[in-house]
Amino acid sequence: MPAESTLYQRRRDPSGTELACIPWLPVLQPAERARAVEHITVGDALPGDFVCRLGRPVTYWFGVIEGLLKMTADTAQGQTITFSGLPPGGWFGEGTVLKRESYRYNVQALRRSVVAGLPVDTFHWLLDHSIGFNRFVMNQLNERLAQFIAAREIDRMANPDLRVARNLAALFNPLLFPGVGEMLRITQQELAYLVGLSRQRVNEALSALQEQGIIRVEYGGLRILDLQALRTSVIPSRIHA
């Protein structure tokens, strides 16, 4: 039987619909956009496919057109730390691309996803020629810093309901993940992977958030009703028998 193709081998040119999902293309001037579009490729990632691997040289700046990825790293003790979920509209790894370093994390598909890649050299060309692109990347870095500071706070939270709420708020970030909008396509099991809790415990937390009118659980995902409450609400711990 032939060997299964890799994500890199499945790369292809993007469709017009896929290009329309890239949030930074509209900030480019016509000549800049033409150059970027010429070099953008997309790949159809299968569940479990690695988009980036720890220690590998950086090759692309990546973004999620469709689906859901997770960014993780393994500790010396063999534990896996999840840094972030990556829903549609999210572009990631700009710090690594800027420094042309090797990846310090793994990025893996949780479900079938479409991933776009901009080659490192084209990324740096845009930095040298496009004010709009520079502003976009600067805003990305600033928002990413705030996200990881918040993630450290989440790691210290003993209340599981709060952990779920704050992780959900991060996935609904309109600057980092503009493709999400008000509806996040995610299963409870996928959310459990990202939060580090059991699916049953995540289900209980979602029920509590829904009772407060903060979210609504719908077929295929979650709808945000009050993003500010998701970010700041204080949810009392519940005692389980």
Query: Taking each helix axis from N to C terminus, what angle separates 199-211 and 160-171, rounded to the nearest 10 degrees?
Result: 80
At residue 5, the pLDDT reads 67
pLDDT band at 240 (very low <50, low <70, confident <90, very high): very low
pLDDT at 214: 92
- Residues 127-141 pLDDT 10s: 999 999 999 999 999
How open is the CA angle 28-17-105, to the nearest 5 degrees? 70
Cα–Cα separations (whole angstroms), residue 44 to 6, 144, 233, 241:
10, 25, 37, 45
Domain boundaries in the chain? 16-144, 157-232
pLDDT, tens only, 193-217: 888 889 999 999 999 999 999 999 9
Q: Where are the alpha helices (DSSP H) in the chain?
A: 16-19, 30-39, 94-99, 120-129, 131-155, 160-171, 188-195, 199-211, 227-232
User: Which residue has better confidence, 230 or 17?
Assistant: 17
User: pLDDT band at 9, cuts 50/70/90?
Assistant: confident
Specify the CATH architecture of the domain 157-232.
Orthogonal Bundle (1.10)
Predicted confidence at residue 3, as pLDDT, reads: 45
**Domain 16-144 indexed as CATH 2.60.40.420:** no
Kindly tell me if the per-residue pLDDT of 49 is higher than 50: yes
What would the mean pLDDT of 179-190 be, rounded to a whole number?
A: 90
